[in-house]
Amino acid sequence: EAQVTQNPRYLITVTGKKLTVTCSQNMNHEYMSWYRQDPGLGLRQIYYSMNVEVTDKGDVPEGYKVSRKEKRNFPLILESPSPNQTSLYFCASSLRAGVVGGELFFGEGSRLTVL
Amino acid sequence: GENVEQHPSTLSVQEGDSAVIKCTYSDSASNYFPWYKQELGKRPQLIIDIRSNVGEKKDQRIAVTLNKTAKHFSLHITETQPEDSAVYFCAASRDDKIIFGKGTRLHILP
């Protein structure tokens, strides 16, 4: 089954404790990206990757890191989480970016709470 | 950079009536405009999209129109049904980035 898998789905952590949210897709997609969803603010892009070893900042990259060592994986790293990073996070992938790639396939989301 | 404005933020319509959600974008290089539906507690899913060389696209009860000159595009849902209740996001994309609007919560009233 074609899917985007995120883990963990739910996490409560404390300020400053490094964490990683994993994202994996099995569709051989080139484009992967991370979004955070906050009430009233919609979906905001954190980082995106056009292909292996190619990553770039989205609109809200501060406090986050990513890597794309393999085509299927695109982990999101919070080196020192803070309460303002409490949010619902979505990973998504598409065949390619933009009009060529078409539909974004989203993971089920990871709800992160930073105390 | 690109900015996408979406209106209204909340919309209530009587079941069977039509709903219209409007978006404007700022970057004339944007060439792909998808719409995503997010049901409560679920992930966003694509419902329809339009490319910049097309003015209108229809899929059953859903249609999208694009006015490149004015940089706005709209989602039209006809004969609304209870299962249309959800949050709808418009987006504007060029070759690398995709920017979403803030969403419209659509309520279908019985």
Q: How far is A15 from chain B, CA to nearest CA, in Å?
A: 26
pLDDT of residue B97 exceeding 90, the answer is no
Tens of pLDDT along chain A (115 residues)? 879 999 999 999 999 999 999 999 999 999 999 999 999 899 999 999 999 999 999 999 999 999 999 999 999 999 999 999 999 999 999 998 777 777 899 999 999 999 9
Please check whether residue B72 is in contact with residue B5, taking contact to mean a CB–CB distance below 8 angstroms: no
Per-residue model confidence (pLDDT) at position A98:
74
Q: Between chains, do B96 and A102 touch, taking CB under 8 Å as contact?
A: no
Please check whether residue B77 is in contact with residue B12, taking contact to mean a CB–CB distance below 8 angstroms: no
Which among B6, B32, B101 has the least Cβ separation from residue A98?
Answer: B32
Q: Between chains, do B32 and A99 touch, taking CB under 8 Å as contact?
A: yes
Q: Between chains, do B43 and A108 touch, taking CB under 8 Å as contact?
A: yes
Give the residue among A24, A27, A22, A8 at the shortest CA–CA distance from A103. Answer: A27
Q: How far is B51 from chain A, CA to nearest CA, in Å?
A: 7
CA distances in angstroms from A17 to A42, A61, A88, A90, listed in the order given:
27, 18, 18, 21
> What is the CA angle A115-A112-A89, rounded to 5?
145
Per-residue model confidence (pLDDT) at position A8:
97
Q: How far is A49 from chain B, CA to nearest CA, in Å?
A: 9
Q: What CA–CA distance (Å, rounded) separates A105 from A80?
A: 28
Top residue of A33, A43, A88 to mutate, by most chain B CBs within 10 Å, is: A43
Q: What CA–CA distance (Å, rounded) separates A69 from A110?
A: 21
Q: Between chains, do B9 and A99 touch, taking CB under 8 Å as contact?
A: no
- DSSP classification of residue B84: G
Q: What CA–CA distance (Å, rounded) separates B107 from B19?
A: 10
Q: What CA–CA distance (Å, rounded) separates A108 from A7?
A: 9
Which residue in B has a C-alpha nearest to residue A90's C-alpha? B43
Strands B98-100 and B45-51: unpaired
